[in-house]
Amino acid sequence: MSEIKRVNLPYQASLLSFFSAVRDLPFPALLDSNHEHFPDTNHDILVATPLARIHPSKNSSLITWQKTPLYELQNTQNPMDLLNELMTLICQEPWAISAPRDLPFTGGLLGYYGYESGHFVEQLPDTVKHDIKLDSMNMGLYAWAVVTSHTQKSTELIITPWCSDEETADILSRLDSVSDNVTSSIETNQNTPFTLQTPFVSNMSEDDYAQKFAKVQDYIQSGDCYQVNLAQRFSSTYQGDTLTAYKALRDVCPTPFSAYMEISPEQSILSHSPERFLLCDNGRIESKPIKGTIARGTTPEEDKANADWLIASEKNRSENLMIVDLLRNDLGRTCLTGSIKVPKLFALESYANVHHLVSTVEGRIDQADQAIRVFHQSFPGGSITGAPKIRAMEIIDELEPHERSVYCGSIAYFSTNGQMDSSITIRTLVADHGNLHCWAGGGLVADSKCLEEYQETFTKVGKLTHTLEHVFLK
């Protein structure tokens, strides 16, 4: 069995400068834990130059190889099936790689699943307007990665047997050129500074939202559903370097599942998500759904009062419990029988602008290639759809005017050593050919109040939009 190589590098408190050193390579991606604030997310991961990309597009194949294909793949109709097959190939002989499980990522699949990737799991209507040019999914097969462990104060270059000597030498040369004294500063292209050209505008007026809210209430009262996540989209236009915008948001909105990905010179993803979707750690599957939100207080006393109110709120606890039950069902499709548990229910987690109620659902698997199957059978996350999931997604398609794109999908990796981690891509912006979009929504239930739910969407997204407007609007 082939083995990975581990090359020790100077410890990086942030991989942002290393990202700049490989940014000109195809499809660079940085999973950025912002660890100073969130010790539970211990690792940062940097990749670029995938051997292949799985990106379902109209009038093209599901997979694009950088060079000669490494594998003969049979499942060419559904990208989820193709990814399952590819993960099985790289986890089993003769292609399996001997890789320790103390590393989160030792080569493998990494990228994003847009919300509309749910159409590859279930038969769903598709009546929304598609005006974003990003593919519904873009997963890369990566042969090398830079991995930082913040608890170990270590940074390593991980090299798989798929990576050529020439490519390894190039990556090491690039990383060696970065100063050892790395901070979170970013080298940006000074010829294209980032500017926001227009304020963010929603795709719904308050009256529009109220009408859609009433429709959801009709569906709930008629027994169609218990909860529906209704979101609005906020859009602006921009020029310049979106990495500058990402850095500004990272400083004011620290979150455990931040990520920056460049899909093309005109397309990037700026994610500042607080929510884990699914983790696989040595066969243990974990999901941490968020359901229940309140704004932070302006004084310590008000902040504590808000947190205490959220913890005691029967409405928010009921919403959270609905999603916990949904996830127990989703994980039960693929996890080992009897392994599903809920070790934490209604825990409080606090972020820069909001408090959240967060629960933990766990299960177990026994084979390395099963993590991606658990992910696919559970996608998209129930916390951003509603319950029951399929009916809620049908109602979302009916009521929301535009596609969600990367929003409410996931940024995920599936490693050759069986490890997996993934976010729910809330608090996420999509930059697409001069247009900048972000979204915010909330779970509507029978006792929801329209004005409160409408205002909550602004609370959730406000730190992002207000920061960009304050710093970059000209």
Return the structure tokens found at 177.
Answer: 């050129």
Beta bridge partners of 386: 228
pLDDT in the model for residue 187: 45
d(CA 311, CA 294): 10
d(CA 19, CA 32): 11
Which residue in this structure is represented by tokens 């499709």?
Answer: 333
Asked whether 307 and 322 are in contact (CB, 8 A), the reply is: no
Phi, psi dihedrals of residue 25, rounded to the nearest 5°: -75, 160
pLDDT at 352: 77
Single pTM value for the model:
0.93
pLDDT 10s digits, 117-155: 999 999 999 999 999 999 999 999 999 999 999 989 999
Q: CA 138, CA 127: separation in Å to the nearest integer?
A: 22
The answer to whether 463 is a known catalytic residue is no
Per-residue model confidence as pLDDT tens digits over 251-297: 998 899 999 999 999 999 999 999 999 999 999 999 998 888 899 99
pLDDT at 61: 72
Task: In whole angstroms, give the CA distance from residue 19 to residue 186.
Answer: 9
pLDDT above 70: percentage of residues in the chain? 96
Q: What is the pLDDT of residues 187-238, one digit of tens each?
A: 444 447 999 999 999 999 999 999 999 999 999 999 999 999 999 999 999 9
Mean pLDDT throughout 32-47?
A: 83
Which residue ranges make up each domain of the chain?
Answer: 2-182+193-472
Catalytic residue of the set 275, 319, 362, 456: 275
Say which CATH topology domain 2-182+193-472 has.
Answer: Anthranilate synthase (3.60.120)
Backbone angles phi, psi at 209, to 5 degrees: -60, -45
Q: Which pLDDT does position 37 carry in this prediction?
A: 67
387 phi and psi, to 5 degrees? -145, 140
State yes or no: is 291 an active-site residue. Answer: yes
Instruction: State yes or no: pLDDT of 6 exceeds 80.
Output: yes
Split at pLDDT 50, 70, 90, the class of 368 is: confident
* Neighbouring-strand partners of residue 421: 279, 413
| 95-109 pLDDT, tens digit each | 788 888 889 999 999
Bond into 69 cis (ω within 30): no
Spell out the SS3 assignment of 348-380.
EEECCCEEEEEEEEEEECCCHHHHHHHHHHHCC
Which of the 8 DSSP states describes residue 170? H
Which tokens hold the place of 179? 């100063």
| Closest by Cα among 289, 298, 302 to 329 | 289
* Catalytic residue chosen out of the listed positions 212, 288, 291, 389: 291
The DSSP line for 418-436 is: S-EEEE---SEEEEETTEE
